[in-house]
Structure 1
Amino acid sequence: MKNLTIVFGLLFFLITSVSQAQEDIVHMLNGDEKKGKVTAVKSDAISFVYSGEDLEYELKKQNIHKIDFASGRTEVYNQVQNSSSPSNANANTAVTSTAAERKNKIAVLPFKIISNNASLTSEGMMEEVQNTTANSIRSNTSQVILQDPSETNAILYENNIGEAEASKMRPADIAQLLGVEFVVIGSANIDYTGSNTYGSSRTTYKDKQERDRDSRKSSGKENTYSSSSSTENYSTNINLKIFNDEGRSVYSVDRTGIGTNLNKYETTISYLIKRSPWGSKR
């Protein structure tokens, strides 16, 4: 009986070893290991099915350290960065671009919004000001290639980098991660300062005359119309900085917007971009 137990134990070990040997192991840059089957290798991603499952997933190559295939072959995509390095603010990030590939490319990060109005500090407002800045770069600069904000935000999302995480990273690391030579980092301070209400009224008269044989009588009707309107007032200040992929500041400005309308920040951003190193008013 004891011998049978040993035999079954050896058989279980052999079966398990063979099963594991038939798995591909994907080593991620964040330290995770994914075991299963690599079903396809694309230019920027791989298709992967977990062991015991049928659903196919897509894993970006920029997040993969290496793949140990069941055949025994190993394919390395990115080197793991030293976590003790002070420039490595996020363990999931990996630089896959070269200086030549980043040349003259520029990206705009979502703006940090500071406001006494909580509705203006939303992610949507951050991206709205980001898009306004990107559109101004398209219209008012030359010699730089703009990375579309949707691509910028996708890369940040894939690396779990939000506004809070980005503020703790070195600009050079962000630029290299995004694959650009220049990165625009900005903040908008938009405070609600109250509202003004304006009103007006107008009175009209309609006369009616009645005649008879003995006298002339007249009667009138008075109509009064009134209207009112109100405007919301805001104080806006834009801070804008541009760094290169070596971490050097190439442009840094701070300007208070003229006017009280909320959309005055657009005019302020346009003014600053036009006077950037590649701007039309430089």
Structure 2
Amino acid sequence: MKLLNSTLIFLLFILSFVTPSLFAQEKNDVIFMLTGETKEGKVTGIHESTIDFVYSGEDLKYELKKSDVLKIIFASGRTQIISQATTPTTNASTTTAAERKNKLAVLPFTMVSNDQGLMSEAMSGQIQHAAINSFKKNTRQIMVQDPMTTNAILLKNNLDLNSIKTMMPQRVAEILGVEFVVYGTANISFEGTRSYGTSSTTYQDKNKKDKDKKEEKSSGKEFTSNSSSTTSNYDTSIELNIFSDSGSNLYSVNRNAFGSSLDTYDGTLNYLIKRSPWGSKNK
């Protein structure tokens, strides 16, 4: 009997240390990020734009952006949705063929460059605008969609250049509400700089001789001025592909720009667009 009591006391003693740790490790709050990542620990606070979080087994508090969090499953079992996952809207309302007839949209250009300053959304949009202006000026029998309309529709449907590349051209045409879609690539390579210098000399002379005679100067002053300039050189090529809402590739062309300035893409676009199916040079 004494042995049994001693055993029970020993077991109760062991459980007094083990049980709290088992309960402490029982459950954690789980945060599900929009990227698919999960974080386990303790949510210590939820604010207007952030969530306070401590990883399991740590004491350091982290701030997570609510815009990056999908949901939280608390240790109690309660689930709280924080943000909604967004995916490209590929089931947008489809326009009819009659509504799209003779309409053309130019997508923002894909940029390829060794100059990181040119690998920007602003430069892509700038060349897109230049192409649209050229289509309006140098084509006939086609209605060119305003770039603000095109870009607004893309934004509304969560479409960027990367996601557009995963879609068939005819689907892009349907979403944009046009019959023709222009895909463009600008390859602009920085080739270095070149410096130019000039020098000129002028005289202030008290005694001026006849022009036909040898010029002599008994007294006077000589003035010399120098000037220099530096230009940046670029090697540019433009590629255009025009697809119809039936998926046909109507026009595919690539041309190297003439000249070395950054804006040579403009003249190259004019050359190519004039020779497109609706261009002024395509007679």
Q: By the TM > 0.5 criterion, same fold?
A: yes
Distance, in Å, in 2 between the alignment partners of 1:207 and 1:275 is 61
Report how far residue 176 of structure 1 moved. 0.4
Distance, in Å, in 2 between the alignment partners of 1:206 and 1:245 is 74
| Matching residue's letter, 1:267 | G
Distance, in Å, in 2 between the alignment partners of 1:219 and 1:258 is 51
Matched, 1:254 2:254: yes
Task: Name the structure 2 match of 1:169.
Answer: 167
Report how far residue 273 of structure 1 moved. 0.6
Helix, strand or coil at the partner of 2:99? helix
Q: Per-residue CA shift, 1:140-198, capped at 9, x if unaligned?
A: 11111111110000000011111111122111110000000100001000011111111
Q: Which runs of 5+ in 2 are unaligned?
A: 1-86, 208-216
Matched, 1:276 2:279: no
Q: Per-residue CA shift, 1:238-258, capped at 9, x if unaligned?
A: 010000111110110011111
Task: Name the structure 2 match of 1:127.
Answer: 125
TM-score by length of 2: 0.63
Task: Name the structure 2 match of 1:115.
Answer: 113
1:93/1:159 contact within 8 Å kept: no
Question: Cα gap change, 1:227/1:93 in structure 2, threshold over 3 Å: closer, same or farther?
Answer: farther
Report how far residue 134 of structure 1 moved. 0.5
Matched, 1:147 2:145: yes
Report how far residue 221 of structure 1 moved. 2.6
Q: RMSD of the alignment, in Å?
A: 1.7
Task: Name the structure 2 match of 1:32.
Answer: none
- Map of 1:54-133 to 2, 5 A cutoff? 90-133=88-131
Q: Per-residue CA shift, 1:222-276, capped at 9, x if unaligned?
A: 3211111122111000010000111110110011111111111111111111111
2:198/2:227 contact within 8 Å kept: yes
Q: Per-residue CA shift, 1:64-95, capped at 9, x if unaligned?
A: xxxxxxxxxxxxxxxxxxxxxxxxx9345413
TM-score by length of 1: 0.63
Helix, strand or coil at the partner of 1:236? strand
Report how far residue 205 of structure 1 moved. 3.0
| Matching residue's letter, 2:166 | K
Aligned length: 187
Helix, strand or coil at the partner of 1:277? coil
Alignment identity in percent? 53
1:92/1:160 contact within 8 Å kept: no
2:89/2:158 contact within 8 Å kept: no
Q: Which runs of 5+ in 1 are unaligned?
A: 1-88, 210-216
| Matching residue's letter, 2:273 | I
Distance, in Å, in 2 between the alignment partners of 1:131 and 1:94 is 25
Match of 1:194 among 192, 195, 202: 192
Distance, in Å, in 1 between the alignment partners of 2:262 and 2:272 is 17
- Map of 1:23-62 to 2, 5 A cutoff? none
Q: Per-residue CA shift, 1:34-70, capped at 9, x if unaligned?
A: xxxxxxxxxxxxxxxxxxxxxxxxxxxxxxxxxxxxx
Larger radius of gyration: 2
| Matching residue's letter, 1:192 | F
Report how far residue 138 of structure 1 moved. 0.5
Distance, in Å, in 1 between the alignment partners of 2:134 and 2:167 is 25
Task: Name the structure 2 match of 1:239.
Answer: 239
Distance, in Å, in 2 between the alignment partners of 1:135 and 1:93 is 31
Helix, strand or coil at the partner of 1:246? coil
